[in-house]
A and B are shown apart, each in its own frame.
Chain A
Amino acid sequence: MKLIVCVKQVPDTSGVVAVKEDGTMDRAAMDTITNHDDLAAVEAALQIKDATGCKVVVISMGPPPAEGMLRELLARGADEAVLVSAREFGGSDTYATSQILAAAIKKVGVEDDDVILCGRQAIDGDTAQVGPQIAEKLHVPQISYAADIKVEGKSVTVKRLLEDGYMTLKVQTPCLITCVKELNNPRYMSVGGIMECYQKPLEVYNYETLKDDPLIDVDTIGLKGSPTNVYKSFSPPVKGAGMMMEGADKATVEQLVSILNDKHII
């Protein structure tokens, strides 16, 4: 059994979001982090590895500096890493990205008992589309929003976190699961893991590596193959801190009415 985890390096949006003049995000001006949901997917994989001894392969599409993030995931305990990186892949939207990642995952090889894990969505685009699209392109079943994963042989039981409750589904491998950050608390890198991470295998897949795959076509990858165009990126206006009031007595209600009145809401 092997677990393939898709991860994305994203800008750290806990600080200020830098925007270029053309309205797109200035990624170079912002710190980068591993996307939270993806980190949960990696942790889920590492927990399965701890229990079963299976192999964990992390895979990311991005510019060359994304290697740093992959090394950190190797330091956490992943066994191998693949960086999918080429000029031809730049500017890809979710449709094009899933084409490329699906081709890359095929190249890594999907066996009968393998599971592909993705984060639910990335904090920069917030689309939640890449995971499900990869599953479609690989013709494997998918379960999204996993808040709990149990693997027994070739069957995987997943508890999905939905807005109004949970849904438990069982699926056969090979399959794709997208994870939410509520799934677990990702472990820290260990000192020993860091000392080993630069000795672990990290392969770079470029355009040449993947070009023979039918999914890789100039019309379906990169900026040209992307139906989506970013119109504008911006930081939303900061909302003031809310105010909490407690109590069901008359005085509290009067206080509330007075505040609403002051703000000309009533």
Chain B
Amino acid sequence: MDFHLSKEQLMIQKMYREFAENEVKPLAQEVDEEERFPEETVKKMAKLGMMGIYFPKEYGGAGADVLSYVMAVEEMSKVCGTTGVIISAHTSLCAAPIFENGTEEQKKYYLPKLCSGEWIGAFGLTEPGAGTDAQGQQTTAVLDEKGENWILNGSKIFITNAGYAHVFIVMAITGVRVDKKGRKSKEISAFIVERDDPGFSVGKHEKKMGIRGSSTCELIFEDCVIPKDRMLGKQGKGFALAMKTLDGGRIGIAAQALGLAEGAIQETIAYTKERVQFGRPIAKQQNTQFELADMHARTEAAKFLVYSAAMKKENHEPYSVDAAMAKLVAAETASDVTRRCVQLFGGYGYTREYPVERMMRDAKITEIYEGTSEVQRMVISGAIMK
């Protein structure tokens, strides 16, 4: 067991930190305040290979590893939760399922455009009536009479990156399955939808509590026509594909949560050294010291889970339970740590003058999206109590 980063990973981490400090941090407050998707940052990240970090060079990726990707989400989220999730949703939920399930043609067509950042990616599973109960899908896909195109109808909600994405991985019902006992179930398949496909549109933008610069919208399919070769993976394997995709996505969200906790701790250490009450900096108070010690220890523990899940994915080992544990622990740590950081800032922490209230709002979503903490508990208990 080796807990050391390679020399390349250390250099990549150094680059992310410089980039986050100089390019992302100065925009974070404005992005939150104005609910603005930071397009300029995405362009800069794309130039540095950050939109396709762990994909092979032959598909336009940077040729690094999963941990280097996880560190990108972590480092950006330390200063801006919005920027962290843009990379995460794009990479884990769109580029990754194409890389892992796509035909050679699909990979050669989509990955270079996604990895270069020319196109941004998104993923559509959730529907108004199908959240945690993802099998309750209503969106349908039917082959047309000639058998040349799929016709999609329905809608998806809460889709991250939707307003700026060009490529969407979308789940839809393609039929009904009947098992040996005569029980019926929905047959779900995955499709690649492009923004300008006829009958497809991006609907209402959600106003949110946190990650306010992230573009969260509805997807609408009204007799949306897509060519037959846009099915991703095999027909009827869409649900499994979506679940596997979310396993990977959870490592990204866990990294976002980890970054938010680390960022809040950094801000709080700096603040408590400066803030003087009763004639000395509040950092000299044992309450401050013990609070920060607890928070740091918990965050480091979360980091080991996140990095370990990333390494298992990198090494092609089963990582579904690891990803669930990483997300559960990191998300709950982020929520708890950011809340306690606001407390240490006192009244100033509650104002928008300091970033910790934003981090507290951003942290909450990590307990909800890409599987709530309750879903993670289902995954974990399901594996250990078989």
CB–CB B8/A195 < 8 A: yes
B43-84: contact bitstring with A at CB < 8 Å (1 yes, 0 no)? 000011110010001000011100010001000000000000
Contact between A191 and B18, CB atoms less than 8 A apart: no
Contact B19 A191 (CB under 8 A): no
Residues of B within 8 A of A192 (CB): 49, 57, 62-64
Residue of B7, B11, B72 near A189 (CB, 8 A) is B11
A-B contacts, CB under 8 A, total = 47
B311 at interface (Cβ–Cβ under 8 A)? no
B8 to chain A: which residues have CB within 8 Å?
194-195, 197-198
Task: Collect the chain A residues with CB atoms within 8 Å of residue B48's CB.
Answer: 188-191
In the assembled complex, A72 has its CB within 8 A of some CB on chain B: yes
A100 at the binding interface (Cβ < 8 Å): no
Residues B7 and A198 in contact, CB atoms below 8 Å apart: yes
Q: Does B176 contact A (CB under 8 A)?
A: no
- B residues near A198, Cβ cutoff 8 Å: 7-8
Interface residue? A75 (CB, 8 A):
yes
How many residues of chain A get a CB closer than 8 Å to chain B's CBs? 13
Given B11, B47, B53, which contacts A197 in the complex, CB threshold below 8 Å?
B11
Main SS at interface, chain A: helix
Q: Decide yes or no: A189 and B62 within 8 Å by CB, A195-B8, A198-B7 being known contacts.
A: no
For window 10-34 of chain B, which residues contact chain A by CB distance below 8 Å? 11-12, 14-15, 18-19
Task: Tell yes or no: A71 within 8 A of B by CB.
Answer: yes
A195 contact set on B, CB distance < 8 A: 8, 62-64
Given A194-B64, A195-B63, A195-B64, A188 contacting B18 (CB threshold 8 A): yes
Measured in the bound complex, the distance between the Cα atoms of B62 and A197 in whole Å is 13
A190 to B7 Cα, complex, angstroms: 15
Interface core residue of A71, A188, A190 (most chain B CB under 10 Å): A188
Nearest A-chain residue to B51, judged by Cβ = A191
Which one of B7, B19, B63, B64 contacts A188 once the chains associate, using CB atoms below 8 Å?
A: B19
If A198-B7, A198-B8 touch, whether A191 touches B15 (CB-CB below 8 Å) is yes
B contact residues around A72 at 8 Å (CB): 11
Residues of A within 8 A of B53 (CB): 191
CB-CB contacts below 8 Å: A173-202 with B: 188-195, 197-198
Measured between alpha carbons, how far is A191 from B14 in the docked complex, in Å?
11
Contact A189 B57 (CB under 8 A): no
Once the chains are docked, how many angstroms separate the CA of A71 from the CA of B6?
14
B49 near A191 with CB under 8 A, answer yes
B47 lies within 8 A of A191 (CB) = no
Fill in one digit per residue for A107-144: 1 if any B CB lies within 8 Å of its CB, else 0: 00000000000000000000000000000000000000
**Complex CA–CA separation, A242 to B3 (angstroms):** 48
Q: B62 near A191 (CB under 8 angstroms)?
A: yes
Tell me the complex Cα distance, A188–B21, Å.
12
* Whole-angstrom distance between the Cβ of B191 and the nearest chain A Cβ: 30
Q: Is the CB of B49 within 8 A of A71?
A: no
CB-based contact B57/A194 at 8 Å: no
Across the interface, do B18 and A190 meet the contact criterion of CB distance under 8 Å?
Answer: no
The docked-state distance in angstroms from the alpha carbon of A193 to that of B53 is 11
Q: Shortest CB–CB separation between residue A197 and chain B, in angstroms?
A: 7
Asked if A75 contacts B11 (CB within 8 A), the reply is: yes
User: B367 to nearest A CB, angstroms?
Assistant: 30
Interface centre among A75, A191, A193, A194 (most CB of B within 10 A): A191
Do residues B18 and A194 form an inter-chain contact, with CB atoms below 8 A? no
A197 to B9 CA separation, bound complex (whole angstroms) = 12
Determine if A191 and B12 form an interchain contact, defined as CB atoms under 8 angstroms apart. Answer: yes
Bound-complex Cα distance A190 to B64 (A): 11
Q: For residue A188, which residues in chain B have a CB less than 8 angstroms away from its CB?
A: 15, 18-19, 48
Closest CB-CB distance, B218 to chain A, in whole Å?
A: 33
Contacts of B7 in A (CB 8 A): 71, 198
Question: Could you tell me the distance between the alpha carbons of A72 and B15 in the complex, rounded to whole angstroms?
Answer: 10
Binary B-proximity of A38-74 (CB < 8 A = 1, otherwise 0) = 0000000000000000000000000000000001100
| Interchain nearest-CB distance for A78 vs B (Å) | 14
Would you list which residues of chain B between 89 and 114 have a CB under 8 Å from chain A?
none
Q: What mask results when residues 213 to 251 of chain A are scored 1 for a CB within 8 Å of chain B, else 0? A: 000000000000000000000000000000000000000
Which residue in chain B gives the minimum CB-CB distance to A72? B11
A188 to B12, CA, bound (A): 10
Inside 8 A of B12's CB, which chain A residues have their CB? Answer: 191, 194
B47: chain A residues within 8 A (beta carbon)? 190
Nearest residue in A to B69 (C-beta to C-beta)? A191
Interface centre among B7, B8, B18 (most CB of A within 10 A): B8
Which A-chain residue is minimally distant from B22 (CB atoms)? A188
CB proximity of A75 to chain B, nearest CB, Å: 6
Contact (Cβ within 8 A) B15 A189: yes
Chain A residue with the shortest CB-CB distance to B63: A195
A-B contact pairs, 27 of them (CB 8 A): A71-B7, A71-B11, A75-B11, A75-B15, A188-B19, A189-B11, A189-B14, A189-B15, A189-B48, A190-B48, A191-B15, A191-B48, A191-B49, A191-B62, A191-B64, A191-B72, A192-B62, A193-B49, A194-B8, A194-B11, A194-B12, A194-B64, A195-B8, A195-B62, A197-B8, A197-B11, A198-B7
The 3 residue pairs across chains A and B that have the minimum distance between CB atoms: A191-B49, A191-B62, A192-B62
- List 11 additional A-B contacts (Cβ < 8 Å) besides A189-B14, A192-B57: A71-B7, A75-B11, A189-B11, A189-B48, A191-B48, A191-B62, A191-B72, A192-B62, A197-B8, A198-B7, A198-B8
